[in-house]
Every structure is written in C-alpha cells, then in structure tokens.
Amino acid sequence: MPFATAKDGTEIYFKDWGSGQPVVFSHGWPLIADAWDPQLKLMVDNGFRGVAHDRRGGGRSGQPWDGNELDTYADDLAAVIEALDLRDVVLVGHSTGGGEVTRYMGRHGTGRVAKAVLLGAIPPLMLKTEANPEGLPIEVFDGIREGVLTDRSQYYKDLSAPFYGANRDGSTVSHGTRDEFWLWSMTVGIKGAYDCIKAFSETDLTEDLKKIDVPTLIVHGDDDQIVPIVAAGDKSSQLVKGAVYKIYPGAPHGLSMVPEFAGQFNADLLEFARG
C-alpha cells in the first residue's frame, strides 16, 4: 500500500487516483479517507487527480501514541503532499479535516495550494470561551470523551444519527450509511480518537484563517448538529479574505454523504475546482 513517512516515522496511508490537477481531501473525525470516495471518483472522472489519506491513529495509517494534535496532523498532510510532489493543489477538508487543511496553510504556507474548500469545518474554534460565546461548552466534549472511553462502538452508532441528520423528520439517510460510519470509526484506535477530541475542540485556528491567501469556498449546513454554523462557517467566512460562503438550508454535518445534499455539494465542488 502507498504510504508517506511522517517526521516521527509514522506511516501515513494515502489513495492517489487519476491524473491532472490534484485535489487533496482531509476527512472528519472519527472517519478515514474512504469517506471521500464518492468525491474522489467524481474529481478523477472529470480530469482531476484525487488524493486522500487516513489520519494518523486510524484506518491504514500508523497508530502512534503521540502526535494526535493539529500541528502534527498538518505536518502529516505536508508529508503526503511533498512525497507526491503535488503542486497547484485544491485542498478540501471536512470537519476536523477542515481544521487540518487550515493549520496546514497557516503552518506551511500556500506555495503548493491553488484553492481551498472548508466543509462543515471546525475553524475558527469550537469551544465556548469568554471570547467565543457561540462555541460549545466543555461539557459537550467531555461527553464525547466519555462515550469513546466507555463504549465507543455504541457511541459511534448513536453519533451517526445527528452526524447525518438521521434524527430529523423526513430523513432519507439509510442504515447502510450509518453502518458505514460505524465501520470506519471502529478502525480508529482509541488513543488517537480520544486525543483528537481535544485537538478539534480546543485548537484556535483564527490566525491560520487570516493567513489563507488563495480562493476559498466555505460550505456549511444550517442544521449542522456537530459543528454549529454560528461558531464555524459564519465566523470563518469573515476571517478568510474573499471567501465564497455557501449555506445549505437544512443540511447536516455529513452533508456530502446525504443524498439530498451530496449532489449540490458535488456540483459546487466541481465548479469551484474548475473555476
């Protein structure tokens, strides 16, 4: 299998499909690269090169004890990009992956980046603080930690409902989609999954967003029950200079995998990448 080697020797698995301008995808917590398969195929079918990696701690990547935080996630992404010598990249990040690509640009610059897409992304800060009253209280994240530690299998099954909006009246999310979420999540080691909760909730990405100097598309569902739009998309769109902000009415957090919203996102992604 193809791997890039991180600074600490951790092996980072990646998919590398097709040829053309590279579109590099970073997935959300607690998933793996497979969550992007429909979009990878879409982009390759339309003349792009699709790349997606499993974040350290899960899937086919190594599961080290350390490094489960956004600086190292960004460096791991850089290792993949540099191993493949990718340039003119369209970076796409969902949820925690949106934080990962934002920290990548803040930490490594945009010399290899042409455009960026932030989907239901965690920036600038998910945690409620005095300066960020729109965020979620620490007790929410403590509850996630407890779920992962005590019965992560059942926790992930339960989490799939708000993730995809399956707990809303009229939802068409299938049992298969929710089972897929559980399957991917269970490939993530408990240490990586646990540590990542602090990474995605407590990392302030405000200054990283301000450093983004490439065309950026920000997409957020206004019924996102995982990453509230008022603390994320609304704020990020004001911090990234010239960002295009698209709000999907009624869309959940995992909108790219929900039939009634995936088509719209795929069309917006393809149009933005081509533009």
The set of catalytic residues is 95, 224, 253
**For the purposes of burial, counting CB atoms within 10 Å of the CB of 195, is it exposed (0-12), middle (13-18) or buried (19 or more)?**
middle
C-alpha dihedral (87, 113, 6, 189), degrees to nearest 10:
-120
Q: 259-274 vs 37-45: helix axis angle to the nearest 10? A: 40
Hey, what long-range contacts does 36-43 have (CB within 8 A, 24 or more apart)?
36/92, 36/94, 38/256, 38/257, 38/262, 38/266, 39/92, 39/256, 39/266, 39/269, 40/15, 41/17, 42/266, 42/269, 42/270, 43/18, 43/269, 43/270, 43/273
CA 248, CA 107: separation in Å to the nearest integer? 30
CA distance 116 to 186: 29
Whether omega before 30 lies within 30 degrees of 0, making that bond cis, reads yes
Closest CA to 67 of 14, 124, 122, 9: 9
